[in-house]
Amino acid sequence: MSNKVISLRDVTRVYQMGDNSVHALRGISLDIEAGEFVTITGASGSGKSTLMHILGCLDRVTEGTYELNGKDVSNLSREELANIRNKQIGFVFQGFNLLPRTTALENAEVPLLYSRPVVSVSERREKAMKALEAMNLSDRAEHHPSQLSGGQQQRVAIARALVNEPALILADEPTGNLDSKTGEEVMRILQELRESSGITIVLITHEADIAAYGTRIISIRDGLITDDVPNTPIGRSSPDTSTPIKQAATAN
Amino acid sequence: MLALRHFLSLALQTLRRNQIQAVLAMLGVTVGVGALVTSIALSRGAQQAINEQLMAVGANMIVVTSGNYQVERSQDAGAVEADHGSIEPSDSITPFLVRIPDSQQLGQSQNPRFLTADWPLSDAFSSNARTSMQSPRFIKAHYEDDPNAQHDHPTAAERLGDTMAGLGAAATLSVDDAQAILNQLDGVQYVASGVHENARVSIPAAGGRSWFTRLHGTEPDLPQIRRGWVFPHGRFFTQDHYRNTEQVIVLGKVVADRLFGADTNPVGETVELWNQPFEIVGVVGSSSWAAQPAAGDDQFDAIYVPLSTVHELLNLSMLNTITVTTRSAGETTAVAEQITAMLRQRHGISEQMPDDFIVRTQAEQVLGNGLPPQVARVVSGNMSTVDNITIEQISHSLERANATMMALLAGVAAVSLLVGGIGVANLLLLSVTQRTREVGLRMAMGARARDIASQFLIEAVILCLIGGLIGAAAGYLVSGSLEGLLQWSTSVSIVSMVVAIVVAAILGVLSGVYPAHKASQLDPIGALHHE
């Protein structure tokens, strides 16, 4: 029926720490459909970061299968995974991870440097500028991260995540380094982004009020999903996940 | 490389962030490349200086001299007696005889190269030559021709005086011969004919202070032949002087120093020669360490007067010498042979008769200097083999010294480049550690291992190139100042600078390989969470 962006089947992830085996994920099965805003919550050590790395193709499953956009990526090579990260996934990190002494525009261009086929200089510039405009940062394009506020920096990071037009945005505690007001602002931006473009967002947080911005909240504990419920996002009337684009149209 | 500019700015960031390490690392590369450029410049400069000196000495020069006192006697000593009955061995006039081994023997035995001459050799004919089965060759020369010999009777010059001695009966070369050599032979560059006399120059103004020296009546082209000449004052006489048979004179440095003092400019002064006033138009010195002016030498303890003037004043028409230069030093032997053939034909000399002139290359003359005259003649009699060897030996020994210096500097360059390379590698390892998070981020954004590796390789190459460019410029400046301050010959070639910069780039790749590999193998998750 609807198209699944993410499909995990009985995924486990075991780390070898010396003689001990650490079971970070003990068997996770999960489907996420296009346009969902899924927030994953869990305490420290619950396995949510490991799940995030696997979803982001930074790490590989020990057992089970992971299908991203209908393609099994469980056993791809490093290079193929890099290519998938480049094209299909946009990352937003807690620490922003912008390149210092590099303008906002150049920061937003970074994923395009690694795109194959090669993207021309002018096209890189154009795409990065468009992404910054979507974040209302076009007047900050030539600023260095040190000249931007925390919220602006995170918006640059979101612009960077969007620049290659991925299907999925993975946000790892994006509000962790921000005060609550700025955090709310960033969350609203992500919310509006989903509603206007239909992009799928998976967000990891340990704060319940941040998780409340999602259309679906998944709780993890000891490497297992303990709860998976639809949610009415903060500031939105219904838990409607199927018509985000329509909503966006009426919102304007 | 579309992203080159991005990586360039990253490299400059690395540079800025680790200034001290970057400066130290680049310093090594700079010194290495600078030493490389300098050593090549010095080596090339020395090579050019050697060539110039050899040319200045006149490695490409041939001198044809009137008359021939060196008549070779082949096979049978008795035949010479018959051919040249005028020279009789007797008590009063002893001919100049030197025994030399034949060429076959010369080739086989290295030592002695020639046999010691016994002179006077009054019984040479009776004992040595006739009984020897080795068929020695003899060179016979007029005894008065030996400048070092002591005579118990007045020589021609002494009997007749300077002005009267003239050119003697042996003046067999003509101005037409000189023209023919210039116009008809290939490989000839310049020809200057000359008359050579001993003469006394004096300054009437200074109470007749005088100097007895060698006079050369010659042509205005002579400075083209004497490449080692410089004119500290004035210049050589001109075609106009020559055509108008003017009484102008060029003094050798030694003569000018003796007559006027070392630092005086005598141009415009008048000296007296043959009781005639001559105006000084120039002083000639040497640019070559291989031929420094010295009293008694033939070039600078000498005076130069237009040949036309000499011919007119002394009522002469023949020449003592024709000096010829070839376009290259390697052609001298061939051109010398052509000159011999041409002059024999022009002088109508039949096959059995000896030359009435002597053709010698400058190498023979140089070799002859400072040798006992009889030995010098032996040497020049066998020049065909000796001249090449000697000039080659001179240049070889100079080149060997040069190669040693070059090797030393190249060693310095190699050590500096090694140190610089290690410095750059170290800087990059530091940079990889500092930028682990950045590497993780780039990997998350889709950078492949080879993208990361090439980023660090580009950085290493850029660092080394910056060092290399500074080094090449420094090498250029150092070479220039060595030339300016120490008078060392240097020659900076564009090729050597390009090579040095390429070496720096290769060094960058080599020193960047390990850090780049290390960065590219980082685990993206670990790198992302690296603090």
Closest residue in chain A to residue B444, using alpha carbons only: A85
Give the burial string for B249-266 (b: 16+ CB within 10 Å, else e).
bbbbbbbbbbbbeeeeeb
Q: A73 near A87, Cβ under 8 Å?
A: no
Write the residue in B13, B445, B448 that is nearest to A110 by C-beta: B445
CA dihedral A23, A25, A28, A32 (to 10 degrees): -170
Task: For residues A7-34, give the mean pLDDT.
Answer: 91
CB contact under 8 A, B2 and A97: no
Q: A120 in contact with B at a CB cutoff of 8 Å?
A: yes
**CA B201, CA B270: separation in Å to the nearest integer?**
10
Write the residue in A97, A102, A111 that is nearest to B446 by C-beta: A111
pLDDT at A222: 92
pLDDT at B41: 84
CB contact under 8 A, B451 and A113: yes
Read off the pLDDT of residues A157-199 as tens digits, 9 standing for 90 and up.
Answer: 999 999 999 999 999 999 988 898 999 999 999 999 999 988 9
- Least Cα distance to A128 among A113, A108, A148, A143 occurs for A108
CB contact under 8 A, A85 and B445: yes
Q: B495 near A29, Cβ under 8 Å?
A: no
Which two structure tokens, joined as six digits, stand for B263? Answer: 């630092």
Write the residue in A59, A86, A109 that is nearest to B446 by C-beta: A86
Residue B514, min C-alpha distance to chain A (Å): 20
Read off the pLDDT of residues A127-163 as tens digits, 9 standing for 90 and up.
Answer: 999 999 999 999 999 999 999 999 999 999 999 999 9
pLDDT at B153: 54
CB contact under 8 A, A110 and B528: no
- Least Cα distance to B335 among B359, B351, B355, B354 occurs for B359
Closest residue in chain B to residue A163, using alpha carbons only: B445
> For chain A, what's the residue count?
252
Type and span of the H or E element at B29: helix B19-57
Closest residue in chain B to residue A160, using alpha carbons only: B445
pLDDT at B328: 63
pLDDT at B56: 57
- For each of chain B's 531 residues, which pLDDT tens digit applies? 446 776 777 777 767 777 787 888 888 888 888 888 888 888 777 777 766 666 655 667 788 877 765 544 343 444 334 344 444 444 444 444 444 444 444 444 444 334 444 444 444 344 443 444 444 444 444 444 555 555 565 554 454 443 334 444 456 787 888 888 888 888 787 788 788 878 888 887 767 778 888 888 888 888 877 777 888 888 888 888 888 888 889 888 888 888 887 778 888 888 888 888 888 888 888 776 555 677 777 778 888 988 888 888 877 777 778 888 777 666 777 788 888 888 888 877 777 777 777 787 765 555 544 444 555 555 454 444 444 445 556 656 666 777 777 788 788 888 888 888 888 888 888 888 888 998 999 999 999 998 899 888 988 888 889 889 999 999 888 888 887 887 777 777 888 888 888 988 999 999 999 999 999 999 999 898 887
pLDDT at B32: 87
Residue to substitute from A68, A78, A113, A158, interface B, most B β-carbons within 10 A: A113
Q: A96 near A107, Cβ under 8 Å?
A: no
pLDDT at B3: 63
Q: B37 near B496, Cβ under 8 Å?
A: yes
Instruction: State percent of chain A over pLDDT 70.
Output: 93
CB contact under 8 A, B525 and A120: no
Domains along chain A? Answer: 35-44+79-235+242-251 (3.40.50.300)
| ipTM score of complex | 0.90
Q: Tokens 């970061």 label which residue?
A: A49
pLDDT at B462: 86
CB contact under 8 A, A99 and B438: yes
Residue A237, min C-alpha distance to chain B (Å): 35
Backbone angles phi, psi at A172, to 5 degrees: -105, 100
Which two structure tokens, joined as six digits, stand for B336? Answer: 């010398």
CB contact under 8 A, B446 and A85: yes
Chain B positions in Cβ-Cβ contact with residue A119 (cut-off 8 Å): 2
Residue B21, min C-alpha distance to chain A (Å): 20
CB contact under 8 A, A79 and B441: no
Task: For residues A212-218, give the mean pLDDT.
Answer: 93
CB contact under 8 A, B444 and A106: no
Closest residue in chain B to residue A108, using alpha carbons only: B445
CB contact under 8 A, B446 and A91: no
CB within 8 Å of A248: residues ≥ 6 apart: A192, A195, A196
